[in-house]
Amino acid sequence: MKLIQDYQNKKVLIVGLAKSGFYAAQLLQQLGAQVTVNDKQTLPNDDKSLVQLQQLGIQVIMGGHPLQLLDEDFSLIVKNPGIPYDNPLIKAAMARKIPIITEPELAYEVSSAPMVCVTGTNGKTTTTTLIQLILDQNRSAGHAYKAGNIGIPVSQVVQKASAEDDIVVEMSSFQLLGVTQLRPKIAVLTNIYEAHLDYHKTRANYIKAKMNITKNQTAADYFVVNYDQKEWRDLAQQSAAQIVPFSRLNKSQAGAYQKGNDLYFRDEKIISISELPLPGKHNIENYLAAIAVAKIYGKTKADICQVLTTFQGVKHRIQFVEKLAGRSIYNDSKATNIEATIVALEAFSQPIVLIAGGLDRGFTFDKLVEPLKKVKAIILYGQTKHLMAAAAQKAQIPTIKLVDNLDEAVPLAWSLTDPGDVLLLSPAAASWDQFQTFEQRGDRFLNDIKKLGE
């Protein structure tokens, strides 16, 4: 970690605690800043994070975001990415022209290790994990770490990473809005669909946030981009970096691509699709993105194949849970948008009993109608259950059931399966109506599945 002097004796406000806020506060204090943490929740006095921050002499203000905080003449705000820019405190800070960044930007400023940054609507976590595992395979020095939106704050990792290491960072559009200097050695764009419009307001704003991943790159850097849609190919032209495409549809052979039943990088065959353990076209794209990054790094075909053939997937992302009484059970709680659920549905040829539902973000589910036609039964819960039921009716799903919660949905879904079926949780909605995170939702599903076998 670089002990920069930029924050020495500067007053910095961290808005939103959570894990990223905790490690950002800890990092800033090491850099000599006078740190204040503000969170809308009131934590118990014995909360571990609160106690540790107070022991470090960091002021923590809880129970709301009082505007008078800004009277303390802060030089910088580090904002939790989940807090929108129309939050009254953030709006007031912008009016005062106080710089606002997110935690990965802070971490980048002090990182000794080069970064590979991955963004996109879908596939970020799987792609990030694959890249990290390949870069960590048979290294002669250092380690490859994963961090970011994957659940590990970048500020935590940079404190232990050296110049011999690499950090592979999953970055959400929320985090990318706070980018000012961040310049990854390699940036990856997996895809862009319509998502998070409740936060970004327009698709154009969402795309602009995503493209911040490459805005500081130069010709010495690399931008690995999905070339399967014209929009994404056109977006690549905005980057000053060297473009390395990947394409499942063989739109370009200048990078990684699928040809027939094999995956290539330029003229080199890397692996046959039959050797890959994860199902679905979307995972072919994830594999191709990881191959492209690996080859830029000079990793051998043997190292790449060792990881690709043994990687069993990411928890909560079309995660194979178990085979129970002839039924294959999958946990796709990370499907927080329609496109992710479409990807999951397309991954299977077997009959599907689907559990879906969650936070109502104010849009319809008409895009799901065609993919839902392969579903034999659907169980819906949460705020969106009636909206999704309308789409299910248009898809003419034979069995449509509405329940109050996930605990009710799982045994009902199970009762509607037959041997050879897939039982799939793929909500097509955020979890925040009934759960704090998609991880919590997925863990509840796993627990409910466990009860089936008891």
Q: Residues marked as binding?
A: 120-126
DSSP-derived secondary structure for 313-345: --TTSSEEEEEETTEEEEE-TT--SHHHHHHHH
Strand order in the sheet with 327-331: 319-324, 327-331, 422-425, 352-356, 375-380, 399-402
β-strands 262-265, 256-259 pairing: antiparallel
Under 8 Å between Cβ of 210 and 219? no
Interatomic CA distance for residues 433 and 377, integer angstroms: 23
Dmax over CA atoms of the chain, in Å, equals 66
Radius of gyration of the chain (CA): 23
Interatomic CA distance for residues 334 and 174, integer angstroms: 17
Q: How far is CA 310 from CA 120, 202, 314, 327, in A?
A: 24, 40, 12, 23
Interatomic CA distance for residues 369 and 388, integer angstroms: 9
3 state SS of 383: coil
Residue 169's contacts (CB-CB under 8 Å, 6 or more residues apart) are: 104, 115, 116, 117, 118, 128, 146, 147, 148, 154, 184
Residue whose entry in the numeric block shows the structure tokens 């790449």: 304
Strand order in the sheet with 144-148: 144-148, 166-170, 115-119, 186-189, 222-226, 242-247, 256-259, 262-265, 268-272
Strand partners, 167: 115, 145
Residue 41's contacts (CB-CB under 8 Å, 6 or more residues apart) are: 17, 62, 63
Q: How far is CA 184 from CA 104, 166, 295, in A?
A: 11, 11, 16
As annotated, the binding site for ATP includes 120-126
